[in-house]
Amino acid sequence: MLTLTPVEVRAESSKFDIVSLIERRVGGELRDGDLLVISSKFVAVSEGRVVKLGSVTPCEEARKMAEKHHMDARLCELVLRESDTIIGGSPGFILAAKDGLLTPNAGIDKSNVKHGTVVLYPRRPELSAWRIREALKFSLGVSIGVVVCDSRLSPTRKGTTGVAVASSGIEGLIDMRGRKDLFGNVLKVTAQGVADDLSSAAEILMGESDEATPIVLVRGLRKGILKDAEYPGKRFAISMDECVYLRSLGYSGPA
């Protein structure tokens, strides 16, 4: 049976040792085969990826972008630095691609941090996931998986769901092509986003406001899901010219 257990911790606003924190909060409970889903923001804060907007000097492109989209030019400057591609924008938001993930403002977040500061994504989230997994294996002797997750908006849908930014120690994406459905039809394009599914399930417990629950312990995954596999964000992604949403909207290149 699959179970998800929320792990509440105090709010952090500056760099800290995330492995020691996990050891204190759930170290005695972790077993082989468990999985930790961890908020990307929590990982980023632990790595010191918190930026004071007052320290940012916007370039001319950022100023023009800010005027066009009614945003803080300093935030626009960070979006330009952090994103791989700018897709477009609307008042208050810039849609960007970051490591294959479409996300408003390149994943930069102003919630649950001190006023005047923002949190960026972890610099290498797949490396962050691997380090946490390996450190816990060394200190506690347990073999687990780690998923670094974020909340996302989906086209035409209200509300946020979860998305995997990176993962380690789990088969995050299962290719179903070539298998048959209940009626013998051969699947041609289907892949199961296991890490995304688990991120969405964990997001229910993590919440979006003051829950202070950046970690969820998952237990009872079916055999074969946990394995030595590393998934950076781009491994979850398809190219933008293959994306059914972007192709249907006529996307033809950076804005």
- pLDDT (tens place) for every residue of the chain, 255 residues total: 899 999 999 888 889 999 999 999 999 999 999 999 999 999 999 999 999 999 999 999 999 999 999 999 999 999 999 999 999 889 999 999 998 888 999 999 988 788 899 999 999 999 999 999 999 999 999 999 999 999 988 888 899 999 999 999 999 998 888 888 888 898 888 888 999 999 999 999 998 777 789 999 999 998 889 999 999 999 998 888 888 888 888 777 765
Supply the pLDDT for residue 60. Answer: 97
Supply the pLDDT for residue 189. Answer: 80
- Which stretches of the chain are DSSP H helices? 18-26, 40-46, 60-69, 73-82, 125-140, 194-206, 233-236, 244-248
**What own/partner pairs with CB < 8 Å and gap ≥ 24 does 188-193 have?**
193/164, 193/236
Strands (E), the chain: 3-7, 35-39, 50-52, 85-90, 93-98, 101-104, 117-119, 145-153, 160-170, 174-175, 191-192, 215-219, 226-231
Give the CATH fold of the 1-47+123-255 domain: 60s Ribosomal Protein L30; Chain: A; (3.30.1330)
Residue 140 in contact with residue 23, Cβ under 8 Å?
Answer: yes
- Residue holding tokens 């780690």? 146
d(C-alpha 149, C-alpha 163), whole Å: 6
Which phi and psi angles does 9 have, rounded to 5°?
Answer: -140, 165
Residue 175 in contact with residue 236, Cβ under 8 Å?
Answer: no
Q: How many Cβ atoms sit within 10 Å of the Cβ of residue 71?
A: 19
Give the CATH fold of the 50-120 domain: CofE-like fold (3.90.1660)
The C-alpha R_g of the chain, in whole angstroms, comes to 19
d(C-alpha 123, C-alpha 117), whole Å: 17
For the chain, the structural domain boundaries read: 1-47+123-255, 50-120
> 153: which 2 tokens?
């908006």
User: Which class for 164: exposed (0-12), middle (13-18), buried (19 or more C-beta within 10 A)?
Assistant: buried
Supply the pLDDT for residue 191. Answer: 84
Q: Under DSSP, is residue 152 helix (H, G, I), strand (E, B) or coil?
A: strand
d(C-alpha 115, C-alpha 110), whole Å: 8
Q: Under DSSP, is residue 15 helix (H, G, I), strand (E, B) or coil?
A: coil
Q: How many Cβ atoms sit within 10 Å of the Cβ of residue 242?
A: 9
